[in-house]
Amino acid sequence: MNESITALFIGLCTGLIILLITKGKSSRLFLFNEELFFIYVLPPIIFNAGFQVKKKQFFRNFMTIILFGAVGTLISFIIISLGSVQLFNKLNIGFLDTRDYLALGAIFSATDSVCTLQVLNQEETPLLYSLVFGEGVVNDATSVVLFNAIQRFDLSHINSSTAMHLFGNFLYLFATSTLLGLAVGLVSAYIIKKLYFGRHSTDREVALMILMAYLSYIMSELFDLSAILTVFFCGIVMSHYTWHNVTESSRVTTKHTFATLSFIAEIFIFLYVGMDALDIEKWKFVSKSPGTSIGVSSILLGLVLVGRAAFIFPLSFVSNLTRKSQSDKIGLKQQVVMWWAGLMRGAVSMALAYNQFTKSGHTQLPGNAFMITSTISVVLFSTVVFGLLTKTLIKVLLPKTHSSNAVISELADSVDSKSLALPLLSSSRGKERESEVGRDRDNIPRPTSLRMLLSTPTHTVHYYWRKFDDAIMRPVFGGRGFTPHVPGSPTEGYLR
């Protein structure tokens, strides 16, 4: 039982209590507002995902993550849209136009990266965690970009020109949203590094980081871009540069603040979904034909399964062609876990469904009622069933083994970090420090040849980026190793 499933059950229990109190009139304490959700609830979740992401793993697998997150989402979008058109015509569920079918493709292509984080262990399966988490965030952003692009076009007559225009608009939104997030993140780093009023105070530093993060989201909304993608990359840049420019107390505060806000937003979403699952208004339409409702939910769930399998296995094969080392390749068992772990649908799917098929949480058309109740059913089923079985599946397919990485990790943990750091520190404290280093030098374990081999940098994209980052970016924007002198910081002695 992870936090999402627990929140769903609490929401269901709360909705049941409200139903009993109101004698079956309502199960909710408040109405869902799509605009409030996208402006206030979603930004903390996505920003914290970018802020907490392990950048080294993320960018080391960047091309694979983009392949799964962008190209894979497009494949899933096409399969779900075309499949729903073919299969829903056989069911009498009311009028659905082309925009609705395409919207369904975008809605059910969005995975739930929140649940994924809770069922995968970063220490036990670092590669899987990096791929599924990174793909989940890029996938959410891509789904929202697709959804927004669909809302802008006249889709009454689709031809090749309209399809190309839609695809071009998608690429434009993806690129410009990413660049805006990077730009705002760099500006925040430069401001905190250079300007006096932003530093020397934990309150000001934390407030400035929160406001700049939110500014990126609002600016993206004002320019009609993908705010979810903008705030995600702003979070990555701020964790890489801005976070290292503040004092130690501000670092601790920001890390916990962003994580807390994200957690509250996630729990709020699942609590509401749990309450809304018992909404009488929507189920009145559906209760007249329960067989149709079950059919719609089953079709959507089946399309989700097929749509994810259609890109996970072929794109894993493509990704493996670019990986030279056999240990870096994605095995069949890992592919199965990736397919299963990404089947959960959650906050983003619910928000997009409400945006498309309801008005302020209310549904008046039978077709829209079927879509909302089916979305709720798929979210509940996938979160509970797939979420509960993911850890079991990992234990069966990927049992713990003492691999070379585990051995290296144990060696690294066994070495006292202070003894490793001492030879690298300057001898500013005189002869006493040098004598301490001399006494501890004999006690430092020498790295094994395997560890030296794995720690040697290779000429990859990540390697060249590090050279560029150290030579140009960090001296200007700050970051680890280039932190400015901040009076009163607990790490002041070490930073000099």
Rg (CA), the chain: 25
One-letter amino acid identity for 256?
H
Kindly tell me if the per-residue pLDDT of 440 is higher than 50: no
Question: Tokens representing 403?
Answer: 């691999």
What is the spatial distance between Cα 173 and Cα 110, in angstroms, rounded to a whole number? 17
Choose between 118 and 15: higher pLDDT: 15
**pLDDT at residue 456 greater than cutoff 60:** no
> Does residue 353 carry a pLDDT above 80?
yes
CA separation for the pair 41, 78 (Å, rounded): 28
Q: What per-residue confidence (pLDDT) applies to 196?
A: 60
The whole-angstrom separation of Cα 13 and Cα 205 is 41
**Residue among 9, 2, 49, 1 nearest 270 (CA):** 9
The answer to which of 148-157, 164-173, 184-193 has the lowest mean pLDDT is 148-157
More confident site: 331 or 4: 331
% pLDDT > 70, the chain: 75
Residue 447, amino acid: P
pLDDT winner (highest mean) among 139-148, 152-161, 247-256, 278-287 = 247-256
Q: Write 326-335 long-range contacts (CB < 8 A, 24+).
A: 328/127, 330/127, 330/131, 333/397, 333/398, 334/127, 334/128, 334/397, 334/398
pLDDT digits (tens, 9 = 90+) for 44-60: 888 887 888 777 777 77
Q: Lowest-pLDDT range, 153-162, 267-276, 467-476? A: 153-162
The overall pTM is greater than 0.85:
no
pLDDT for res 94: 61
Residue (of 112, 27, 30, 38) closest to 355 by Cα position: 38
pLDDT of 279 higher than 90:
no
Longest distance between any two alpha carbons in the chain, whole Å: 87
The 8-class DSSP code of residue 480 comes to: T
The 10 Å CB-count burial string (b at 16+, else e) for 11-22 is: bbebbeebbeee
**Residue with more model confidence, 64 or 446:** 64
pLDDT classification of 362: cutoffs 50, 70, 90: low
User: Among 157-166, 298-307, 345-354, which range has the highest average pLDDT?
Assistant: 298-307
Q: pLDDT digit string (tens) for 284-341?
A: 777 777 777 788 889 999 999 999 999 999 999 988 888 777 777 888 888 898 898 8
Minimum mean pLDDT range among 127-131, 180-184, 307-311? 127-131
What confidence score (pLDDT) does residue 225 get? Answer: 83
- Asked if pLDDT for residue 365 goes beyond 60, the answer is yes
Region 252-267: mean pLDDT is 88
The Cα–Cα gap between 110 and 51 comes to 20
Q: Which two tokens stand for residue 28?
A: 């909710």
Give tens-digit pLDDT for 409-428.
444 444 433 443 344 333 34
Confidence grade of residue 183 (pLDDT, cut at 50, 70, 90):
very high
Torsion of CA 87, 91, 95, 101, to 10 degrees: -20
Compute the mean pLDDT over every residue in the chain, rounded to the nearest whole number: 76
- pLDDT given at position 198: 52
pLDDT at 314: 92
Q: What is the pLDDT at residue 361? A: 54
